[in-house]
Structure 1
Amino acid sequence: MSQSLSKMYVHIIFHTKHNQSLIRPEIENELYAYIGGIIKKNGSIPIKINGTENHIHILTTMSKNIALAKFVEEIKRNSSRWIKTKGEAYHQFAWQGGYAGYSVSQSVVERVKKYIENQKEHHKTQTFQEEYIQFLKEYNVDFDENYLWTEYIAPSGHNNQLA
């Protein structure tokens, strides 16, 4: 085969550092559009981006030329830099250290898209923490709840925040 072809759908979830309510309504649409631009710049196609005041969900196709960890790092690093330019209220803005990423079958892309579209309504009855743990369990991801919401000190002495 002379060329590499792929179409991978990925559902990415991450939250603000310490789950702070920092994604304010006056900037969220602009933030999501900016993140869409970062995704495109990395050779991928954003399908749906939405969230609440403390976390976001991204449904995207992912380029075959970038690893998921690097892709999420690019999104978080660049969007964090951008949001800090939006005023004094955002100067301390930061994303958490980790993320969740799930493969999505083409047969359920529309269902995932609708789920992401309805985040604000959904979170009237379920907290982000409950939702996050539900996804981890649905995808059979091993996790230690002791490290989901707090900082973890890696053995090398570097601070890493999990989840």
Structure 2
Amino acid sequence: MPNTYTQIYLQVVFATKGRDIKIISNVRNEIEKYICGIFTAKKQKVLAIYANPDHIHIFFSYKNLQITIPELMKTVKIESTNFINERRLCLGKFLWQEGYGAFSYAKSQKDKVVNYILNQEKHHSKKSFREEYLEMLDAFEIEFRNEYLFEFYDGER
């Protein structure tokens, strides 16, 4: 009997509620490890992850088509929110914003994307999250409406 074989590389990006600075450096690794565990439990493989203080990048190999991307993102957000709040890893109540960006890549781009994500701290010393995200939407030719973008520090949407 024939089987189904897939190899899809995706980067997802989503932000903390209100773009609050919630993920401080001393809890970042713990949060990243927990989120990687969620992906593993859902039979996905994280290739790179970086939790910035106010948003996160996750690059993964999407192989198990038994779960849709929206279901996976919902699970990741709910379970990681519960983990962060139960362990009081952040001051006050932690929440992710609604929505996310999902971007696909070819296998030939894998190393470049991994490097990009693992160097987020350096990258954001030169470019804001807003600039980064808008550039990604433009590069992938994704039509969007400003009122449905993440909340940004400068008040612009």
Does the aligned pair in 2 maintain the 1:12–1:102 contact within 8 Å?
yes
Match of 1:55 in 2: 55
Partner SS for 1:94: coil
Q: 1:113 to 1:88 in 2, by over 3 A?
A: closer
Q: Deviations over 1:41-72 (max 9, x none)?
A: 00111111013100110010112211111111
Residue identity matched to 1:34: Y
Q: State the distance in 2 between where 1:69 and 1:87 align.
A: 27
Deviations 1:67-102 (A, max 9, x none): 111111111110010000222744410001000001
* TM-score normalised according to structure 1 size: 0.88
Deviation for aligned residue 1:33: 0.4
Tell me by how many angstroms 1:26 deviates: 1.2
Secondary structure of residue in 2 paired with 1:101: strand
Partner of 1:113: 114
* Correspondence list, 1:1-163, <5 A: 2-62=2-62, 63-87=64-88, 89-150=90-151
Aligned residues: 151
Q: Distance in 1 between matches of 2:36 and 2:89?
A: 24
Query: Any stretches of 5+ residues in structure 2 without a counterpart?
Result: 152-156
Higher relative contact order (CA 8 A, sep 6+): 2
CA separation of 1:46 and 1:2: change in aligned 2, threshold 3 A: same
Instruction: Read off the aligned partner of 2:84 and give its amino acid letter.
Output: I
Structure 2 CA distance for partners of 1:111 and 1:89, relative to 1, 3 Å: closer
The 8 Å contact of residues 51 and 116 in structure 1, kept in 2 or not, is answered as no
- Which residue identity does 2:37 align to in structure 1? G
